[in-house]
């Protein structure tokens, strides 16, 4: 498999108290809601009411209006601060229940409000929503800081963390205590008053900059399109792609033969099949220059400011650079270990690119071309080489990949590996007509597991890429079993009504990847919500999703669900054989474009407080690395939302590669056993990886599953790269509270 998942923007809003305090919402000063806001009632604002209805309560999407967000957020923050203050000023000596567990119970109303707000921000981002985002981001950052810098509260947590009685707690309680303590310290709880004030100011600034960055990228994606004026402009495109372009034109009310929108799901197929080279170049430049066009939506100045503020914050917190701060709480532990892994893969990947380009150049020359292969030619000629060498046409494959059938295939895999059943429900409100909902149950016991929402199609105001959300985390605190609610979100081009949506093999792989995140959440079996599901370190969270990609290509899935959209016949075995034979094809491109982004991300954040011109830094650093001229980064710096729309993947984009080493090695356990549906290996995967959330140190969890540390050889073989005896970077065990440990 390749790395189609690099476009994924994984998100999981859980209790935003402390667990995510340094991610989407940074930190800052003070929030003092007005009396009128504090007195806002649920009757006037449904966002303030507890989630009601079936399935343990569901989001009230049918009752929400944009005007309700600001007052709901203000009132929710006021309520949460009152809860926090009650914990901090408790006259009784701190105990696990009156401090740590109390923190877990606090903030539920605000968490539900922020969940709905986040959905509107990411999928229904109108100008009205964006105005609220710009206003609220610094204020929410300020609110978070009021918690992380609450000295009496931290003293209670610190007392419990250092208490010898901690050993009497369960391993999960010890783990949670460490998580809270670690989060407080990493958020600056031990700083003096002056440093705390500056830290708050920095994070408040960052919160506003992140919002502006995201909105600039969204504006370029929404406002820029490539208009295909005449039928000749559709040259080379398949019938389904022509229909997609025509549908996009109709949706935008553009009188033309078609429209190519500025999202990867629309651009990549056009670059792969269009025989109009000048139009390919236009499409490519439109896409790679998002956020880099000058004017109001240019992100370069914002990036410079973000990097400066991050560097200053890292020094305040006692770290050499932002990269050292971010990786201190991961499996890799240090930037040096992450860099070592990337460099180990970079050299063979670039060598493979040179071979790929030579093959493409030879084919182009044979066809009479007199130009050198450029970035806008790469996908087009790679597809030609694929067809010539392997007799494999991705358009032929696409006819067997119907979106609905692939979804059914994912459900079937979930049943075989995890024992889940999925049943569609109609008694649940949704935020857009495209969204559908399924109830998930345990196949054996019939007990409810949760709900799965699916939002598959692109639309204006929806951020690009694919991602998973957790609307509600699984937990069983205080004897109450709370089931999870998760969603998967994609940006497929919607076909005509009544016609199936055909997707590429890459898109199908991404679909399985994101479903892996959902299964990680659905499989959770822990007590405390902050340790639930996907609440794990950044370079581990992509592991469960990466590993699930492998089941797409299993014969059981392909024979049952990869059926021709017209005849209903399963994909021919001869075509499957050709897909398998070509599995390592184009891995130089796939790996290098990803690593280009990951290396730039890391090097930007290792540069310390040096003032950086993003375009110049990108250009010069890629030249130093020996980036092939025919390839650009998968995410160029001015549109690198993973890194600059929050702190989430900053100095952490390498984590996809780190996780894919785990995934490739883990899947090998199945191939060494009874195959992909080996029940014993599957049960071990569920028990050791998918169900434990953040209750177990990831290094320990992996060793429990595999019996050893991961090895890089499986990844190198998967990519078709030379297998060396180089030592795989080893994960450092986190200094947890003695149970199995893991991050916050």
Residue 462 phi, psi (nearest 5): -105, 130
Helix (H, G, I), strand (E, B) or coil at 470: strand
User: 225: which 2 tokens?
Assistant: 């399109």
Helices 69-88 and 151-162: angle between axes, nearest 10 degrees: 50
Query: For residue 485, what is the enclosing H or E element?
Result: strand 484-492
User: 278: which 2 tokens?
Assistant: 């000048």
Give the C-alpha separation, 325 to 335, whole Å: 9
Q: Yes or no: say if 272 and 394 are a contact pair by the CB < 8 Å rule.
A: yes
Give the Cα-Cα-Cα angle 447, 109, 166 (nearest 5 degrees).
75
The edge-to-edge listing of strands for the beta sheet with 467-472 is 420-425, 436-442, 448-457, 484-492, 467-472
CA distances from 16 to 19, 24, 27 (A): 6, 9, 12
Is residue 514 annotated as part of the catalytic site, yes or no? yes
User: 118: which 2 tokens?
Assistant: 């986040």
Quickly tell me which residue has 């080996």 as its tokens. 678
Q: Yes or no: say if 540 and 698 are a contact pair by the CB < 8 Å rule.
A: yes
Give the C-alpha separation, 365 to 388, whole Å: 14
DSSP one-letter string for 375-387:
HHHHHHHHHHHHH
Neighbours of 135 (CB within 10 A): 14
Residue 651 phi, psi (nearest 5): 55, 25
Helix (H, G, I), strand (E, B) or coil at 252: coil
How many residues are present in the chain? 744
Give the C-alpha separation, 506 to 663, whole Å: 17
Helix (H, G, I), strand (E, B) or coil at 448: strand
Catalytic residue among 158, 514, 549, 618: 514
CA distances from 239 to 234, 320, 495 (A): 10, 55, 12
State how far Cα 423 lies from the chain centre.
26
Residues 6 or more apart whose CB falls under 8 angstroms from that of 16 comprise 24, 25, 107, 110, 111, 114, 144
Quickly tell me which residue has 């950052």 as its tokens. 141
Helix (H, G, I), strand (E, B) or coil at 375: helix
> Where in the sequence numbering do the catalytic residues fall?
514
């Amino acid at each position: 498999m390749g790395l189609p998942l690099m476009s994924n923007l994984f998100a999981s809003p859980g209790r935003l108290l402390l667990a995510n305090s340094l991610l989407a919402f940074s930190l800052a000063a003070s929030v003092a809601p007005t009396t009128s806001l504090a007195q806002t009632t649920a009757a006037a604002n449904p966002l303030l009411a507890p989630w009601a209805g079936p399935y343990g309560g569901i989001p009230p999407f049918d009752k929400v209006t944009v005007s309700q967000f600001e007052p709901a957020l203000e009132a929710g923050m006021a309520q949460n601060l009152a809860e926090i203050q009650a914990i901090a000023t408790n006259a009784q000596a701190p105990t696990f229940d009156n401090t740590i567990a109390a923190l877990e119970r606090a903030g539920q109303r605000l968490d539900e409000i922020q969940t709905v707000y986040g959905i509107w921000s990411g999928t229904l981002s109108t100008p009205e929503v964006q105005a609220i985002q710009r206003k609220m981001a610094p204020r929410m950052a300020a609110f978070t800081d009021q918690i992380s810098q609450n000295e009496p509260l931290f003293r209670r947590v610190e007392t419990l963390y250092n208490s010898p009685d901690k050993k009497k707690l369960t391993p999960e309680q010890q783990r949670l205590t460490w998580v809270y303590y670690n989060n407080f310290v990493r958020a600056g709880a031990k700083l003096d008053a002056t440093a705390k004030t500056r830290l708050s100011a920095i994070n408040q600034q960052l919160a506003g900059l992140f919002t502006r960055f995201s909105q600039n990228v969204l504006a370029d994606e929404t406002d820029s399109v490539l208009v295909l004026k005449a039928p000749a402009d559709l040259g080379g495109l398949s019938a389904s792609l022509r229909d997609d372009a025509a549908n996009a034109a109709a949706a935008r009310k553009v009188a033309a033969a078609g429209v190519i929108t500025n999202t990867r799901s629309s651009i990549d197929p056009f670059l792969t099949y269009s025989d109009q080279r000048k139009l390919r170049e236009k499409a490519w430049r439109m896409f790679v220059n998002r956020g880099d066009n000058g004017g109001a939506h240019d992100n370069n100045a914002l990036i410079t400011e973000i990097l400066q503020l991050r560097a200053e914050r890292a020094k305040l917190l006692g770290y050499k650079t932002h990269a050292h701060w971010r990786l201190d709480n991961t499996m890799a532990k240090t930037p040096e270990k992450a860099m070592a892994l990337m460099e180990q893969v970079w050299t063979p990947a670039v060598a493979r690119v040179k071979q790929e380009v030579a093959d493409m150049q030879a084919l182009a020359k044979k066809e009479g071309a007199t130009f050198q292969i450029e970035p806008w030619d790469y996908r087009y000629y790679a597809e030609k080489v694929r067809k010539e060498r392997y007799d494999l046409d991705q358009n032929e494959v696409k006819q067997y990949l119907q979106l609905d059938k692939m979804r059914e295939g994912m459900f079937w895999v979930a049943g075989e590996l995890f024992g889940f059943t999925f049943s569609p429900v109609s008694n649940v409100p949704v935020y857009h007509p495209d969204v559908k909902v399924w109830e998930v149950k345990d196949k054996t016991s019939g007990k409810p597991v949760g709900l799965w929402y699916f939002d598959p199609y692109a639309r204006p105001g929806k951020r690009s890429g694919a991602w998973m959300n957790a609307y509600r985390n699984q937990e069983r605190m205080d004897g109450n079993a709370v089931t999870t609610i998760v969603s998967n979100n994609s940006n497929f081009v919607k076909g005509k009504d009544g016609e199936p949506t055909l997707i590429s093999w890459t898109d199908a792989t991404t679909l399985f990847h994101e479903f892996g995140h959902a299964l990680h959440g659905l499989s959770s079996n822990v007590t405390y919500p902050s340790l639930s599901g996907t609440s794990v370190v950044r370079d581990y969270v992509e592991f469960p999703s990466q590993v699930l990609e492998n089941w797409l290509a299993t014969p059981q899935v392909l024979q049952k669900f990869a059926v021709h959209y017209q005849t209903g016949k399963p994909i021919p075995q001869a075509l499957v054989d050709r897909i398998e034979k070509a599995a390592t094809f184009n891995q130089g491109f796939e790996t290098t474009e990803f690593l280009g982004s990951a290396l730039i991300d890391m090097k930007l954040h290792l540069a310390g407080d040096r003032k950086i011109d993003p375009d110049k830094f990108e250009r010069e650093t890629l030249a130093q690395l020996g980036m092939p001229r025919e390839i650009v980064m998968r995410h160029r710096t001015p549109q690198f939302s993973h890194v600059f729309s929050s702190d989430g993947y900053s100095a952490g984009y390498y984590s996809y590669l780190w996780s894919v080493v785990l995934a490739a090695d883990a899947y090998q356990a199945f191939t060494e056993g009874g195959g992909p549906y080996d029940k014993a290996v599957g049960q071990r995967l569920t028990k050791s990886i998918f169900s434990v959330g953040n209750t177990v140190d990831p290094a320990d969890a992996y060793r429990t599953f595999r019996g050893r540390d991961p090895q890089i050889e499986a990844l190198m073989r998967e990519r078709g790269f030379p297998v060396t005896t180089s030592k795989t970077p080893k994960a450092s065990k986190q200094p947890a509270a003695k149970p199995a440990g893991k991050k916050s």
